Structure 1
């Protein structure tokens, strides 16, 4: 549960948000903003966690440890640590600023769908597709508790304010309340009647927002146990929920790219935001409540100004367009194809490293040799030199065939004409970049 303060609101409101956070090489499963509003964490399909500097809109650190997609991530309150859960079943503890995890906290027999850190930062709960909830101590000295009760995968988990009780929901259509330290049989708080995707307890500790596999959002009263509101506003199942810190609004993201803002008091829809292509797997308010960040399958982390209802930075021209020679149709087609690559790679030397290293000077460069980038062992030890031939093979056969053991996200182009256009664009764009910036 997030805790607000006067300092938090004052600090976050000064953040000059400019554009999307671009860095993951594939879908983004989760995003969370730190209590001071200055940093964020994202969990990606590309096996990485990215630690973001929000005022400067850059990745502070790329963090690798999972052997599959990372499904959820959270800050540890009052510390410089974080926790992540992944499709490999692992729950890792991280020290912010480090590239590798500090400890493996627990491992499920199946993917981890969600994690939650206790308000006092003492332990983490993880919801698994193995039907179990693990509650692991963060200091490594306590006992791992395994909670059994759900009949099927567990999709959502959240600690209540004081950390003594835990909420969960799953495919069995139930919302349950646990007392992990009492080893008691969980109370079934509600039976929704269909699989539950997400839940979120509002700051008032009374209103529970629940979303299932239908298009509806439900509000429950935690004290009476009764369903207070049944709301329709999405065009597909609801996949993500967040409540703002003042407890007046909440946001939901759906499977068709739609984001809806609602009144928590009466369930009225307030705004509908559209900008994602495909499912929105995560939504989160900034601490001051002025902006919303969202992430999903389209590899996009978007920022929304909630006063205007507009996506911030959405009208910016992509970097690739700056390097297309005028009248070169083949390069223009290549620039379109490079749009997927641009999620991970910049073309300019001052663009820095995203989820992948800058491509400035890539032709003739040995694989795994850009200073400051945390390559996988396979890339660090490779003797391959990037050329039109080796880059072409990368897109024809896939990274795992060119450099076995790499964690580079799979990006293939089956069309020989598309590969030709992409390589032509890269040659032209990088030649222009070298003209503008000088050779490295």
Structure 2
């Protein structure tokens, strides 16, 4: 497995770029890229050439997360202004505006079928689930305090929720918190199942394996990447190599590799069978806030793609093979 630099766009935004996701291809167009920035905008890019297709405004504070529906038709952006804007990718028309008081929202993801949008609720120590047919709130999942935490942690700051990930079947939802704990929920029953422990600093990124349904990967400010058996509640592996916070992570579509972005300004590619980093890319000059593999199924294109975004305002695109 290997990464090769393809294209970098400097000054892609006017401020730090904190969020990136792929927009799956549709019958009428190839895949696109969405980026979100502290400049309050969301930009849409043609994927391989990184040609700007459109700029979406509508938030009054920085955009910290972007997510795309599996259909590739609609997407969502979350901002520090406590709003989630759902919009049509082609026309930029606003489909829904979701309000998430009393605190800002952080990461969000659509479930595999596209019927539910999960939004990490930041300081509210909860995850909100929204019905994508009606855009009504289904339920608010409150993250319980781990039994092992100290009584002095009752302030709730440790339960600040940063990241979310859906299991492959959409039945379970994992969310990562500021205190390093990961909470797993049964979505249909809106029931907390258990915590996964092992990190001691914020868990900023989570992803389930596309080939091992029980395996959950996590990335943390403690500079470690963990592998969990999310149902067996056990830590099955740990990887380290970054010299600072691991801010972002994604699993390759074939499930054999992991990409991470760090505040050490690098993107690393990890071989999951070896549980070791096999390549380090240094195209960014500042913290790497987002990495994402292109989803499979691109017509007429064999090569994989990885994208990364950074505080240096740039977007880098890599060939993954």
TM-based fold match above 0.5: yes
1:106/1:134 contact within 8 Å kept? no
C-alpha distance in 2, partners of 1:76/1:200?
Answer: 17
Aligned position for 1:290: 304
**Aligned length, in residue pairs:** 291
Task: Please state if 1:140 is matched with 2:134.
Answer: yes
C-alpha distance in 1, partners of 2:93/2:10?
Answer: 21
C-alpha distance in 2, partners of 1:27/1:56?
Answer: 21
**Alpha-carbon spacing, 1:268–1:185, altered in 2? closer, same or farther (3 Å):** closer
C-alpha distance in 1, partners of 2:7/2:161?
Answer: 37
Task: Please state if 1:177 is matched with 2:184.
Answer: yes
For residues 31-58 of structure 1, the C-alpha deviation after alignment (integer angstroms, 9 at most, x for no partner) is 1122336211111111111111224532
Aligned position for 2:59: 66
For residues 376-410 of structure 1, the C-alpha deviation after alignment (integer angstroms, 9 at most, x for no partner) is xxxxxxxxxxxxxxxxxxxxxxxxxxxxxxxxxxx
1:248 positional shift:
0.4
Question: With CA pairs under 8 Å and 6+ residues apart, which has the higher RCO, 1 or 2?
Answer: 2
Indicate which of 116, 126, 135 corresponds to 1:123. Answer: 116
- 2:43 aligned counterpart, secondary structure: strand
1:94/1:102 contact within 8 Å kept? yes
Task: Please state if 1:208 is matched with 2:216.
Answer: yes
**Alpha-carbon spacing, 1:129–1:230, altered in 2? closer, same or farther (3 Å):** same
2:76/2:84 contact within 8 Å kept? yes
1:165 positional shift:
1.6
- 1:182 aligned counterpart, secondary structure: coil
**Alpha-carbon spacing, 1:296–1:220, altered in 2? closer, same or farther (3 Å):** same
1:109 positional shift:
2.1
Structure 1 unaligned residues grouped into runs of 5+: 1-16, 308-440
C-alpha distance in 1, partners of 2:294/2:137?
Answer: 34
Aligned position for 1:87: 80
1:142 positional shift:
4.5
1:193 positional shift:
3.3
Indicate which of 232, 241, 245 corresponds to 2:240. Answer: 232
C-alpha distance in 2, partners of 1:72/1:40?
Answer: 13
Aligned position for 1:155: 162
C-alpha distance in 1, partners of 2:16/2:277?
Answer: 27
Task: Please state if 1:102 is matched with 2:95.
Answer: yes
1:293 positional shift:
0.9
Aligned position for 2:271: 263
1:30/1:43 contact within 8 Å kept? yes
- 2:188 aligned counterpart, secondary structure: helix
1:21/1:57 contact within 8 Å kept? no
Structure 2 unaligned residues grouped into runs of 5+: 1-5, 145-155, 296-301
Aligned position for 1:274: 282
1:306 positional shift:
4.2
2:198/2:235 contact within 8 Å kept? no
- 1:43 aligned counterpart, secondary structure: strand
- 1:125 aligned counterpart, secondary structure: strand
Aligned position for 2:16: 27
- 2:91 aligned counterpart, secondary structure: coil
1:141 positional shift:
5.9
**Alpha-carbon spacing, 1:54–1:212, altered in 2? closer, same or farther (3 Å):** closer
**Alpha-carbon spacing, 1:174–1:269, altered in 2? closer, same or farther (3 Å):** same
- What is the TM-score normalised by the length of structure 1? 0.62
Task: Please state if 1:246 is matched with 2:254.
Answer: yes
For residues 113-157 of structure 1, the C-alpha deviation after alignment (integer angstroms, 9 at most, x for no partner) is 200101111120011222121101122265431111254210110
1:245/1:289 contact within 8 Å kept? no
**Alpha-carbon spacing, 1:242–1:79, altered in 2? closer, same or farther (3 Å):** closer
C-alpha distance in 2, partners of 1:57/1:231?
Answer: 32
1:106/1:136 contact within 8 Å kept? no
C-alpha distance in 2, partners of 1:99/1:77?
Answer: 17
For residues 255-279 of structure 1, the C-alpha deviation after alignment (integer angstroms, 9 at most, x for no partner) is 1201111012231211011121121
1:156/1:168 contact within 8 Å kept? yes
1:213/1:237 contact within 8 Å kept? yes
C-alpha distance in 1, partners of 2:78/2:16?
Answer: 15
Aligned position for 2:105: 112
Aligned position for 2:147: none
